[in-house]
Amino acid sequence: MRHPRRAALVLAATLLALPAACGTSKTDQPVSDAIAPAGTPPLDLSTKPQLLLQVFGERNDPRLLPVAAVVNGVIRPIGLTPRGWKDLDSMYFETGAKYAIYHDDIQFGQVEVAKERPHTPLPGCRLQKPIAAATLTFKDTHTDQTVEFIASTAPLAMHAPYKGVLPTAAEIAKLGRALGHAVGKKAAMDEAELDSLDFHARMLNTGASSEPTLLVSFIDPNGGDLGPGAGHASHLFILAEKVGDAYEPTYRHAVSGDAKTVEFQRVVDHLDVNGDGVDEIILEAWRYASEPDLVVLSFKAGTWHEALRVKQSWCLDPPRAKR
């Protein structure tokens, strides 16, 4: 299944031909006029903090976008003025800069910042975040035509692989459907409607417990930013840990209603950012006709909870005053 948000990322990278460096036109406002996002603490670049970068687009022509910082083992938003973003651009996106890329807590290879290429600015945007053109090299064969990885400007710790025997794909699907129906019933979601949605279930080796975390998703394939934004939509997203012989939900996102308002969620990656042996799970959350959110889940006291939520806008223009 080609996920709606994944398709959107690929479309953006392919059609917009995003810039390899942050720039402005002659009509742009001075870079010092705008401010960091409201409520976002300023990021001290003098320490050259660790950044998490999203690598996405076509395999042979990917883009590299900064999405979060890691300060004292905590993922936090990047709070910078446009001038600060220019400083970040020069510090991290020099031609030839190389960073490890990760997926499912495994280092896949590396991304290298490429030379600047001609670009078309984002429509209606005068100030943009630095988005670098890049090249990829892989440790093993990678045949997908589109890519989506997390890169880190500092090496990440990887916990030990799961040494037990995983259920088969059919067993995981059966387990996931049963759990989804049970959670959906408690959320007053119709079982027949759930079964009409795209279903996905898999195991994630997160380190949250001695057994892998079960991910379950029921999602409207026409929902979100690529959908018509009309009618009814439902989405069920679950994370569960094994307790005894059964899996118990440790994170639930069950929504049903107007297609314009339903928030959809998906896993971008899971990585041990602070080296404590338990992954953080990075989600993308989105609604119809809106910018996506980056959501980071941390495991604490037996449940997954939101540790960070930040808008993933590529444009730095300050909000326009209403007339």
pLDDT computed for residue 123 by the predictor? 78
Residue 317, in any domain of the structure: no
pLDDT computed for residue 30 by the predictor? 38
Residue 162, in any domain of the structure: no
Number of H helices, E strands in the chain: 4, 15
H or E stretch at 89: helix 82-92
- Over residues 293-313, the pLDDT tens digits come to 999 999 999 999 999 998 888
> pTM for the full model?
0.86
pLDDT computed for residue 161 by the predictor? 85
Residue 322, in any domain of the structure: no
Q: Do residue 124 and residue 238 come from a single domain?
A: no
Residues of the domain holding 181: 169-311
pLDDT computed for residue 127 by the predictor? 84
Q: What string of DSSP letters covers 172-228?
A: HHHHHHHHHHHHHHHTT--HHHHHHSEEEEEEE--SSSSSPEEEEEEE-TT-GGGS-
pLDDT computed for residue 290 by the predictor? 85
Sign, CA dihedral 86-146-8-270, equals negative
Structure tokens given for 95: 């031609």
Q: How many domains does the chain have?
A: 2
- Of 76, 12, 8, which Cα lies nearest the Cα of 44? 76
Q: Which ranges of the chain have pLDDT less than 50?
A: 1-35, 118, 322-323
Residue 215, in any domain of the structure: yes
pLDDT computed for residue 291 by the predictor? 87
Average pLDDT value over all residues in the chain? 85
Q: Do residue 145 and residue 180 come from a single domain?
A: no
